[in-house]
């Protein structure tokens, strides 16, 4: 039995040490918002935060995350909620499949840099592929989320 | 559901009572015609293909018959109904239809959902509105003319009293259905949603991770499967050697499945291979990696991209088959010309690689079967399952999930057939998931193409002759083996119907065998034709020493309308217009920074007119895409922001083709396997993208999802020429060291 803490909740699961976190989350725990895209840390569809750090869950064995705090798209944080609102305002998604990962990567960015530049965004978001090509909207939405947050702090 | 009112031939909708206390209305729409086709009143079973369900609580549910793959169709079609109905958008929700012929043509491809369904949807909304008005007027004892529908209420114009839509449902279900000829549609100026910016109705599900795609379907005790397929297309299993696969924890079974060959002319069948059945996806993947299989590679093992390309290039040096559409006398034009230019262009095989890999969940239960899958064409899936597994069609249920991208890959049913075959074997529910490597190595590839163009300029620098000789393996080969020449429908995608006014045209087609499964990918053959033609016109302009913009406009000739058989005649003026507008947006002719260049391309596809200008910069022999300006005239625009999003996405998709797209074969096996060697445009590569949508609301709507793609690669390459003087005739740019 292994104990995983996801979005503040504990889950006890039966799985091998080397199983990637992605499949434990999706197939065993049943949280399907985190997506499989490549299995090779290339596309970012499976992005999650582990102790606040952006990671590709397809390439992280569950043995590594035991005792750590896992955050997925099913979770909620201040930055993620601003991002969600900005995503809605900018009508960002097309097929939507990669957007869980995009939002998690953007959350990680805003958690670290309060007001990212275009270059910061390019660097932080280029690990996430969107085949529909919503990049320009994602970039705008990240700036928008910063604006929403600043207005909220006023 | 009980039918509570008869339908006459002249009615547009049918009304049903619902046990839940609402009414449901259905209308019948023929697949590809705009005309409404009413079903006969004497039929006992009524099969409308579109439903509107109005509940007493005011909620309106529309059943979406087309698949949602990011093109926004669920929102678009709902908004057309809501507009005519004067509904409050907050009360609208959308449910996805299963695959069933009662919904008319559900095949979601060819950029045609709005094109074919806008008018029926509007009529549906208008009819419902008339019925609600009729019910209210009866209640008030006034004439219908004295009532108006406004934001989910009917208002009495005499005293401004209002009744909520939901409160009228019961009475509305009993009023006479208006005759088709009495349905009055709104005027363009009165549109509330159509032509405006409406957000996706599924936004929250997309940002909360709650949208259910194929792989998200879970059934208790469901098994997971991964399949090892022969590296060479249509090869088969010779033997399965003893391996560690079975010892992997979570692996249940190893099952060999044989290829299912589709009958000539329809269906897709499946490749066959060795399946690993497991308790979770990862165990299935691990099991598959640990299999030891000896393959009989079959006839396609001789496929090598390099030698194939050389062979095709050689063929193109000789005359090909003459293609209808040729006119004038090219030979004479060439003889009498001042200048002759020749060029050969090449685009490799490409693959769709939607972010969601092919996958399907199936539960075969002996005499029936249910599947859940991200499919573009659920009716073909249904028929195909019935065919291969000997089931009555009505016993096959195909549930359509969200599609994590489709781009044509999910038009093919092979991955669903695999799931059914395995469910039958294990006698329980199973989910087949392709790895990304499976997706890239076993697809229905976008055809590789080589084109030879020869053109002549007369003394005035006008194009006097145009020879276009193309060779590419045909999509038809996937349905009819040994189809070695491109078909008429493929050559009709931009080759023989190029928009230029030239006196002498000759089109030829050379043989090109298929060694892999060939399929269609977003904008299909227009990718070839758009690249070859726009690149070549740019070369002609350079030779004539003319500005490419002026040259293009001149070559488009006099304003003319070519009627053809279509309800969307080609209008050269609309193509010139988008070009002028995109050029103006780009500041064409302005002085550019050192090392920068502008390139242009135009293309007419899916009845829409598109022009793109690209600005690139060259530094240390590397190219950066700086700006993309695209203008589209797609007639009436249903959802402006959605069209904009589609065109932005098309620019990025087109960039992936130009910069990175390349699938190659060695000894019959595809060499690429994942996003580390089949690269995609990423955010850091993405330039500013500016979209202009021409205001043309009076004209019938045409395609949006695909037409933005074909212009991108040629506009980029023409910009590279402008910036550096280097001609790019072979894609992708990364192979030329330019990226």
CATH number at residue B409: 3.30.365.10
> Chain B residue closest to A19 (CA)?
B282
- Chain-centroid distance, C-alpha B219: 30
> Chain A residue closest to B286 (CA)?
A19
B83 inside domain:
yes
Q: Is there a single domain that holds both residue B309 and residue B402?
A: no
Is residue B534 predicted with pLDDT exceeding 80? yes
Which residue, B635, B630, B532, is CA-closest to B581? B630
Residues A38, B204: C-beta atoms closer than 8 Å: no
Q: Which residues lie below 8 Å from residue B15, measured CB to CB, with a gap of 6+? A: B3, B4, B5, B23, B24, B25, B131, B173, B177
Is residue B281 predicted with pLDDT exceeding 60? yes
Contact B32, B48 (CB under 8 A): no
* B567 — pLDDT class (breaks 50, 70, 90): confident
Q: Is there a single domain that holds both residue B538 and residue B483?
A: yes
- B224 phi and psi angles, rounded to 5 deg: -115, 145
Which residue, B211, B200, B209, B201, is CA-closest to B645? B200
Residues B416-430 have a mean pLDDT of: 98
Q: Is there a single domain that holds both residue B313 and residue B281?
A: no
- Using the 3D structure, point to which of B433, B456, B487 is the last residue of a domain: B433
User: Which tokens hold the place of B288?
Assistant: 């598959």
What is the number of domains present in chain B? 3
Q: Is there a single domain that holds both residue B534 and residue B400?
A: no
B189 inside domain:
yes
DSSP state of B662: -
| B69: chain A residues, CB-CB within 8 Å | 95
Q: Is there a single domain that holds both residue B482 and residue B417?
A: no
Q: Is there a single domain that holds both residue B127 and residue B240?
A: no
Q: Is there a single domain that holds both residue B467 and residue B409?
A: no
Q: Is there a single domain that holds both residue B468 and residue B386?
A: no
- Using the 3D structure, point to which of B208, B241, B260 is the last residue of a domain: B208
Per-residue model confidence as pLDDT tens digits over B321-364: 999 999 999 999 999 999 999 999 999 999 999 999 999 999 99
Which residue, B569, B591, B622, B614, is CA-closest to B734? B622
Chain B contacts in chain A segment 27-66 (CB below 8 A): 27-28, 30-40, 42-43, 45
- Chain-centroid distance, C-alpha B620: 38
- Using the 3D structure, point to which of B413, B433, B453 is the last residue of a domain: B433
Choose between B169 and B455: higher pLDDT: B455
B632 inside domain:
yes
User: Which tokens hold the place of A86?
Assistant: 């900005």
Is residue B39 predicted with pLDDT exceeding 60? no
Q: Per-residue DSSP letters for A25-62?
A: IIIII---SS--S-SSSSS-TTEEEETTEEEEGGG-BH
Which residue, B629, B621, B602, B596, is CA-closest to B531? B602
Shortest Cα distance from B40 to chain A (angstroms)? 38
Shortest Cα distance from B690 to chain A (angstroms)? 10
Is residue B50 predicted with pLDDT exceeding 90? no
pLDDT score of B563: 82
Query: SS in 3 state form for B303-326?
Result: CCHHHHHHHHHHHCCCCCEECECE
Q: Is there a single domain that holds both residue B399 and residue B370?
A: yes
Question: Residue B279: which H helix or E strand, with range?
Answer: none
Q: Is there a single domain that holds both residue B269 and residue B408?
A: yes
Per-residue model confidence as pLDDT tens digits over A59-69: 999 999 999 99
Q: Is there a single domain that holds both residue B587 and residue B628?
A: yes
Q: Is B203 in the A-facing interface, judged by CB distances under 8 Å?
A: yes
Q: Is A101 in the B-facing interface, judged by CB distances under 8 Å?
A: no
pLDDT score of A110: 98
Contact B331, B410 (CB under 8 A): no
Is residue B49 predicted with pLDDT exceeding 50? no
B294 inside domain:
yes
Is residue A137 predicted with pLDDT exceeding 50? yes
Domain with B37 in it: 2-208
Alpha-carbon distance of A30 to A72, in angstroms, equals 12
Contact A48, A72 (CB under 8 A): yes
Question: Residue B597: which H helix or E strand, with range?
Answer: strand B596-605
What does each C-alpha distance from B421 to A142, B384, B396 come to in angstroms?
45, 12, 14
For each of the domains in chain A, give its residue range(s) and CATH number, in order of start: 2-71 (3.10.20.30), 78-153 (1.10.150.120)
Choose between B409 and B19: higher pLDDT: B409
Chain A contacts in chain B segment 246-265 (CB below 8 A): 249-250
Q: Is there a single domain that holds both residue B191 and residue B108?
A: yes
Residues B699-709 have a mean pLDDT of: 96
pLDDT score of B33: 36
ipTM of the complex: 0.98
* B26 — pLDDT class (breaks 50, 70, 90): low
User: Which tokens hold the place of B135?
Assistant: 């019910």
Chain A contacts in chain B segment 635-654 (CB below 8 A): 641-642, 645-646, 648-653
Per-residue model confidence as pLDDT tens digits over B282-330: 999 999 999 999 999 999 999 999 999 999 999 999 999 999 999 999 9
> Chain B residue closest to A94 (CA)?
B70
Which residue, B50, B60, B62, B61, is CA-closest to B100? B50
Which residue, B530, B408, B634, is CA-closest to A131? B408
């Amino acid at each position: 039995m292994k104990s995983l803490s996801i979005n503040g909740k504990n889950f006890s699961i039966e799985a091998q040490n080397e199983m990637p976190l992605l499949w434990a989350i999706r197939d065993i725990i049943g949280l399907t918002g985190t997506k499989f895209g490549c299995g090779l840390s290339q596309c970012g569809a499976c992005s999650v935060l582990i102790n606040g750090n952006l990671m590709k869950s397809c390439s992280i064995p569950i043995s590594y995350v035991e005792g750590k705090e896992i955050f997925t798209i099913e979770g909620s944080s201040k930055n993620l909620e601003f991002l969600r609102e900005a995503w809605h305002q900018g009508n960002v998604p097309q097929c939507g499949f990669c957007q869980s990962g995009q939002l998690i990567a953007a959350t990680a960015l805003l958690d670290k840099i309060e007001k990212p530049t275009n270059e910061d965004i390019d660097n932080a978001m280029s690990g996430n592929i969107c085949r529909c090509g919503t990049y320009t909207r994602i970039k705008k939405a990240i700036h928008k989320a910063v604006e929403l947050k600043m207005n909220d702090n006023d | 559901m009980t039918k509570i009112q008869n339908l006459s031939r002249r009615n547009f909708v049918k009304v049903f009572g619902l046990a839940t206390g609402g009414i449901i209305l259905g209308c019948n729409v023929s697949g590809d015609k705009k005309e409404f086709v009413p079903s006969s009143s004497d039929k006992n079973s009524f099969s409308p293909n579109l439903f509107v369900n109005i509940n007493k609580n005011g909620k309106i549910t529309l059943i979406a018959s087309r698949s949602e793959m990011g093109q926004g169709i669920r929102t678009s079609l709902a908004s057309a109904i809501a507009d005519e109905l004067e509904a409050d958008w907050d009360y609208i929700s959308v449910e996805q239809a299963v695959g069933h012929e009662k919904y008319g043509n559900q095949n979601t491809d060819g950029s045609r959902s709005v094109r074919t369904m806008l008018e029926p949807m509007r009529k549906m909304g208008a009819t419902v509105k008339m019925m609600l008005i009729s019910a209210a007027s009866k209640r008030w004892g006034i004439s219908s003319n004295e009532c108006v529908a406004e934001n989910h209420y009917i208002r009495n114009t005499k005293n401004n009293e209002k009744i909520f839509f939901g409160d009228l449902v019961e009475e509305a279900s009993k009023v006479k259905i208006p005759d088709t000829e009495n349905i009055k549609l709104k005027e363009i100026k009165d549109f509330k949603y159509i032509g405006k910016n409406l957000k996706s109705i599924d936004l929250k599900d997309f940002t909360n991770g709650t949208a259910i795609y194929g792989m998200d379907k879970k059934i208790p005790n469901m098994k997971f499967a991964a399949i090892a397929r022969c590296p060479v297309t249509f090869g088969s299993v010779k033997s399965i050697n003893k391996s560690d696969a079975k010892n992997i924890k979570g692996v249940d079974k190893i099952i060999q499945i044989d290829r299912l060959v589709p009958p000539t002319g329809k269906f897709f069948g499946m490749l066959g291979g060795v399946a690993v059945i497991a308790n979770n996806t990862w165990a299935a993947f691990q099991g598959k990696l640990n299999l030891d299989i000896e393959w009989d590679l079959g006839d396609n093992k001789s496929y090598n991209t390099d030698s194939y390309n050389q062979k095709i290039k050689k063929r193109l040096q000789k005359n090909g088959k003459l293609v209808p559409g040729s006119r004038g006398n090219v030979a004479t034009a060439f003889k009498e010309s001042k200048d002759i230019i020749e060029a050969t262009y090449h685009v490799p095989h490409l693959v769709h690689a939607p972010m969601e890999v092919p996958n399907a969940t199936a539960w075969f239960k002996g005499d029936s079967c249910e599947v859940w899958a991200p499919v573009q064409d659920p009716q073909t899936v249904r028929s195909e399952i019935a065919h291969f597994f000997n089931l009555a069609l009505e016993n096959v249920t195909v549930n359509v999930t969200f599609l994590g991208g489709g781009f044509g890959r999910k038009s093919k049913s092979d991955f669903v057939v695999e799931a059914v075959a395995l469910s039958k074997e294990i006698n329980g529910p199973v989910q087949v998931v392709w790895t990304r490597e499976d997706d890239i190595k076993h697809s229905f590839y976008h055809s590789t193409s080589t084109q030879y163009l020869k053109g002549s300029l007369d003394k005035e620098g006008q194009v006097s002759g145009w020879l276009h000789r193309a060779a590419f393996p045909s999509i038809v080969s996937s349905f009819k083996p040994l189809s070695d020449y491109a078909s008429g429908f493929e050559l009709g995608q931009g080759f023989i119907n190029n928009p230029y006014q030239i006196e002498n045209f000759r089109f030829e087609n050379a043989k090109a065998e298929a060694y892999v499964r060939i399929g269609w990918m977003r904008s299909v053959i227009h990718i070839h034709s758009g690249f070859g033609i726009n690149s070549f016109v740019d070369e002609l302009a350079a030779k004539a020493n003319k500005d490419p913009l002026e040259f293009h406009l001149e070559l488009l000739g006099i304003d003319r309308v070519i009627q053809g058989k279509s309800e969307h005649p080609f209008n050269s003026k609309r193509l010139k217009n988008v070009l002028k507008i995109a050029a103006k947006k780009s500041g064409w002719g302005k002085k550019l920074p050192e090392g920068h260049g502008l390139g242009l391309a135009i293309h007419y596809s899916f009845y829409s007119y598109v022009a793109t200008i690209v600005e690139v910069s060259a530094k240390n022999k590397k190219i950066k895409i700086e700006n993309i300006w695209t203008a589209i005239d797609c007639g009436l625009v249903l959802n402006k922001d959605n069209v904009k999003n589609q065109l932005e996405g098309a620019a990025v998709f087109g960039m992936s083709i130009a910069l990175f797209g390349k699938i190659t074969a060695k000894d019959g096996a595809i060499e690429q396997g994942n996003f580390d060697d089949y690269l995609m445009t990423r955010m850091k590569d993405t330039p500013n993208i500016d979209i202009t949508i021409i205001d043309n609301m009076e004209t019938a709507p045409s395609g949006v999802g695909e037409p933005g793609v074909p212009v991108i690669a040629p506009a980029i390459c023409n910009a590279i020429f402008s910036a550096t003087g280097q001609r790019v005739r072979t894609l992708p740019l990364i192979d030329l060291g330019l990226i």
